[in-house]
């Protein structure tokens, strides 16, 4: 495992994403992931699977303290009066006294950032969240919550894979002792069809998915949270620590990000940062 050092915590750079895993498939997936060795699990209020994630953690026998657990507050719970109760409900479902990282899922502005950050700080100070962060925030929005509002956010979870650059966000997190979590790190499965990734994978006796994940976690302050329902993918995605990509391979994959294929772009998304060409 590669770890990211932030605030005296070692965060496993490879985690397990659980979006669209429901009911028994979610319990089975998280149980298998923990058995394989994953110690970083990503869920969210909107995924409607926090209870299943909590059940699997409980059944796994892995100590809660050994797992880096993230959840996210959905946009309907951002008002101050709803925020903390929603986090307490998440913790009840997760059967956990705290999450390691609590994120604001999307930067919607129906509730002011000042109010959102007040709530986020309160649950942080109350010990319900060991670290706090955001998701899908632009650089300007990160600047606003950290530098104007003083919220100690340490993470931005954004879409990042070989077909989408996140250079502006990466530059900002690296300059401010934060880290970036790459969601949809396999471009939702599309990495398997790319010729460059196939060529590099063949050289290492790996799959394009393994190469994409290795490219991510080999970057400074980047974590990746692939989702996999099948045991084959779950195992394969964890098997990325026995090979290294050289500088030329890293560069060839980075060039693919010029394709700028963003896969997650709902109506409520912000005006995304554009990487310089
Ligand atoms: N913050 C946000 O707004 C946000 C948005 C999107 C996602 N996320 C988080 O990020 C996690 C991952 O993103 P994602 O689920 O969108 O997409 P992803 O992890 O990029 O891709 C998942 C898909 O790829 C397949 N797959 C798994 N391993 C593979 C491999 N080695 N090679 C080829 N295909 C493979 C999976 O198939 P099987 O399942 O059949 O194995 C699944 O269909 C989510 O689960 C969620 O936790 C957060």
DSSP lists the bridge partners of residue 11 as 4
pLDDT surpassing 60 at residue 277: no
Q: Is residue 135 part of a domain?
A: yes
Q: Is residue 176 part of a domain?
A: yes
pLDDT tens column, 78-122: 999 999 999 999 999 999 999 999 999 999 989 999 999 999 999
Q: Is residue 272 part of a domain?
A: no
The residue count of the chain comes to: 277
Ligand 1 center from residue 115 Cα (angstroms): 32
Q: Is residue 276 part of a domain?
A: no
Q: Is residue 69 part of a domain?
A: yes
In total, how many domains does the chain have?
1
SS3 264: coil
- Name the pLDDT band for 275 (thresholds 50, 70, 90): confident
pLDDT tens column, 4-24: 999 889 999 999 999 999 999
- pLDDT of res. 276: 62
Q: Which residues are catalytic?
A: 47
What number of H helices and E strands is found in the chain? 10, 10
CATH number where 120 lies: 3.20.20.100
Q: Which of 7, 47, 76 is nearest to 227 (CA)?
A: 47
Domain that holds residue 193: 10-259
Residues with CB under 6 A from ligand 1: 17-19, 42, 105, 135-136, 157, 183-189, 192, 207, 209, 225-230, 233, 236-237, 264
pLDDT tens column, 148-163: 999 999 999 999 999 9
Q: Atom 28 (ligand 1): residue with closest C-alpha?
A: 233
- Name the pLDDT band for 259 (thresholds 50, 70, 90): confident
Q: Atom 15 (ligand 1): residue with closest C-alpha?
A: 227
Question: Phi and psi (nearest 5°) for 180?
Answer: -110, 135
What whole-number distance in Å separates Cα of residue 272 and Cα of residue 38? 31
């Amino acid at each position: 495992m590669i770890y990211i050092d932030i605030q005296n915590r070692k965060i496993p750079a490879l985690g397990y994403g659980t979006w669209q895993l429901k009911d028994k498939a979610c319990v089975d997936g998280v149980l298998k992931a923990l058995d394989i060795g994953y110690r970083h699990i990503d869920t969210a209020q909107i995924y409607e699977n926090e209870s299943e994630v909590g059940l699997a953690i409980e059944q796994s026998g892995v100590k809660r303290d050994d797992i880096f657990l993230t959840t996210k507050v959905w946009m309907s719970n951002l008002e101050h009066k709803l925020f903390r109760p929603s986090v307490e409900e998440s913790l009840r479902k997760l059967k956990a006294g705290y999450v390691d990282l609590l994120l604001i899922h999307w930067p919607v502005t129906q509730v002011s950032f000042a109010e959102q950050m007040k709530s986020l700080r309160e649950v942080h100070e109350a010990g319900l969240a060991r670290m706090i962060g955001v998701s899908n925030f632009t650089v300007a929005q990160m600047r606003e919550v950290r530098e104007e509002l003083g919220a100690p956010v340490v993470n931005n979870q954004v879409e990042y894979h070989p077909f989408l650059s996140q250079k502006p966000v990466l530059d900002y997190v690296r300059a401010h002792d934060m880290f970036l979590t790459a969601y949809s790190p396999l471009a939702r499965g599309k990495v398997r069809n790319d010729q460059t990734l196939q060529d590099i994978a063949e050289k290492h006796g790996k799959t394009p998915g393994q190469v994409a994940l290795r490219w991510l976690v080999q970057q400074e302050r980047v974590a990746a949270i692939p989702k996999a329902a099948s045991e084959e993918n779950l195992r394969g995605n964890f098997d990325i620590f026995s090979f290294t990509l050289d500088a030329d391979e890293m560069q060839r994959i980075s060039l693919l990000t010029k394709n700028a294929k963003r896969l997650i772009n709902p109506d409520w998304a912000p005006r995304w940062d554009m990487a310089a060409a």
